[in-house]
Amino acid sequence: MTAPAPAIRIRGLEKSYRDLHVLRGVDLDVAPGSIVALLGSNGAGKTTVVKILSTLIAGDAGTVSVNGLDVAAQATEVRESISLTGQFAAVDEILTGRENLVLIARLRHLPRPGDIADALLARFSLTDAGSRAVATYSGGMRRRLDIAMSLIGDPPVIFLDEPTTGLDPEARLEVWATIKDLADGGTTVLLTTQYLDEAEHLAHRIAILHEGGIIAHGTLAELKGLLPPARIEYVEKQPSLEEVFLAIVGQDRNSPATKEQP
């Protein structure tokens, strides 16, 4: 059985900013309906890769295709089949959540924008908050709304550039669940992140960008296999700070003293 063509295909991608060589021959394939995490330290070029894929900037050399479309020669068609969510939620705080969604649907000239907005509010568990100004939303709610806005028009490929930057642990888990749901629904997700636990929880495959190239690419198990065999030791497992925080917040959330006032 022939494997499906990659939803994203990068070969020999290079990009420089004056004398700074950011990308020095990046090769990467992303299968349809999968989540691939692109890891790298600050300045490694993760955002540059995403900007080239989303036609915001041009590469200096190499070939890049999204959904079989060349990003340089077919930029307009590529933009119609993708969505990009940056590091900070691009939502209008004055408008309500529903109004934000309706606005984007109208800008895309889609029929029945109200129905589209209502469906996305329900999909992202924001129906009860849909009539509230976004200024009242928590960080996790704003990010979920931002991702919902990016899905208007049903793009088959979505780029998430460090989507949980600045979010608290609870909000991060909310966004993780949203990203998993996207892939379960057939959306291809390329995720850039600095958080190793985020890649571990979400990604079907992980690519490590370092010194301008992909130095490792595979499943988590395959990447772990690159290291020497682990030495077995028996230690008492202590809960992580994140587990402690979520347990305490979960216990107190329903108490009268900690309930949010409407």
Higher pLDDT, 248 or 137: 137
Residue 88: both structure tokens together:
């900070």
What's the pLDDT tens digit per position in 206-216? Answer: 999 988 999 98
d(CA 74, CA 238): 53
**In the predicted model, what is the mean pLDDT of residues 27-45?**
92
**In the predicted model, what is the mean pLDDT of residues 248-260?**
52
**In the predicted model, what is the mean pLDDT of residues 143-156?**
89
Least confident among 3-17, 112-126, 139-153: 139-153
Domain assignments of the chain as residue spans, ordered by start = 1-81+156-252, 91-154
Task: Say whether pLDDT at 6 is over 60.
Answer: yes
**In the predicted model, what is the mean pLDDT of residues 227-239?**
73
d(CA 206, CA 91): 29
d(CA 77, CA 65): 11
**In the predicted model, what is the mean pLDDT of residues 77-90?**
84
What's the pLDDT tens digit per position in 185-207? Answer: 899 999 998 888 899 999 999 99
Percent of the chain exceeding pLDDT 90 equals 54
Contact 21, 49 (CB under 8 A): no
d(CA 30, CA 198): 18
1-81+156-252 topology per CATH: Rossmann fold (3.40.50)
Which pLDDT value is given to residue 93?
A: 93
How high does pLDDT run on average in the chain?
A: 87
Cβ contacts of 88 within 8 Å, gap of 6 or more: 165, 166
d(CA 130, CA 203): 30
- What string of H, E and C letters represents the secondary structure of the chain? CCCCCCCEEEEEEEEEECCEEEEEEEEEEECCCCEEEEECCCCCCHHHHHHHHCCCCCCCEEEEEECCEECCCCHHHHHHCEEEECCCCCCCCCCEHHHHHHHHHHHCCCCCHHHHHHHHHHHCCCHHHCCCEHHHCCHHHHHHHHHHHHCCCCCCEEEEECCCCCCCHHHHHHHHHHHHHHHHCCCEEEEEECCHHHHHHHCCEEEEEECCEEEEEECHHHHHCCCCCCCCCCCCCCCCHHHHHHHHHHHHCCCHHHCCCC
